[in-house]
Homo-oligomer: A and B are copies of this chain.
Amino acid sequence: MEKIRIGILGYGNLGRGVELSVAQNPDMVLAGVFTRRDPALLTLQTPGAAAYHIDKAVQMQDAIDVLILCGGSATDLPVQTPEFTRYFNTVDSFDTHANIPGHYSTVDAIAKASDKVSVISVGWDPGMFSLNRMYAGAVLPNGKDYTFWGKGVSQGHSDAIRRIDGVQDARQYTIPVQQALDAVRSGGQPELTTREKHTRECFVVAKAGADLKKIEEEIKTMPKYFADYDTTVHFISQQELDEKHSGIPHGGFVIHTGVTGKNLEHHHVIEYSLTLESNPEFTASVLVAYARAAYRLAKEGSYGAKTVLDIPPAYLSAKSGAELRAELL
């Protein structure tokens, strides 16, 4: 079997997750990891695989079928996806929702001009959650969908707390409100405010002598991040934080309710949920499945930018169409 040769650009939590996921897929092989750091400092987990400086990537383009871009959406991907799609089929996890249309247009033009495929905005939201919003809305157009996130760690919110004076370390959990979930599931299609949908729980390690009241007040009133939510703050020791809050769990719910019938009398609830013990490793697993799709789309000459909404489900699977029809349909 000819294996799909995967390159990884960026070796943080997501890049390491991609490496582990590639190892779970027998039709794939890791062709190299590219980093802006000194590659000698990386310790890969894949026997025989090597790390290279990012500047070496382009000269290795014939050794790589799909390059998975594992940088961040704020500053890395807006530059890297257009740049590397000139030379590689690419997959990224660009997740700044408001900027997706612009990112798509930029990458699409480059991909088409370069005879490459680029699957953008892959992961679970955008990604698996988007798929579920779309399928549910197409099947029950007289309906409404709701997305809840959590319980899970928000890195952005944890970072925001860490920047407060007197804070040594912090971890923030986003938690969906059970009452809101129940109201949505009942099919009533409620209008829910930001505060009604999610709460935020913060575990904070204060520096010695810090003013705890002031830290708590600063967190709870922080605009955008916390002010619109009911926020709970717990001060704990660094040891407790390390012991009980070192994981990166996440997840959430996409719930669509809709009606059918002559008098719209029949209610239906479609619910999709994820409970993830490792957010980056799950996101990486989605990226890897879409790398398989990118490889196939490139083989058939379907060049351009794609999203999860454009790609036939079967392209993600290592199984043949006949196997899928016999085993899974």
Contact = CB atoms under 8 A, between A and B. Distances in A.
A106 interface: no
Contacts of A267: 277
A140 interface: yes
A128 interface: yes
* Max chain B C-beta neighbours (<10 A), residue from A133, A261, A318: A261
Interface string A140-157: 111000000000000000
Contact of A100 (B137, B270, B308, B329): B329
A195 to B, nearest CB: 24
Nearest to A263: B20
B307 A278 contact: no
Given A268-B282, A278-B266, A329-B121, A316 B134 contact: yes
B322 A309 contact: no
Interface in A102-129: 104, 121, 126, 128
Interface in A286-329: 286, 289, 292, 307-314, 316-318, 321-322, 324-326, 328-329
Given A135-B316, A322-B101, A329-B97, A274 B268 contact: yes
Nearest to A253: B271
A20 B260 contact: yes
* Max chain B C-beta neighbours (<10 A), residue from A135, A138, A271: A138
A277 B266 contact: yes
A85 interface: no
A275 to B, nearest CB: 4
A142 B281 CA distance: 13
A212 interface: no
Given A139-B286, A261-B281, 15 more contacts: A24-B141, A126-B329, A128-B270, A130-B328, A131-B313, A134-B324, A138-B292, A260-B281, A260-B282, A266-B278, A269-B273, A271-B273, A309-B312, A309-B328, A311-B312
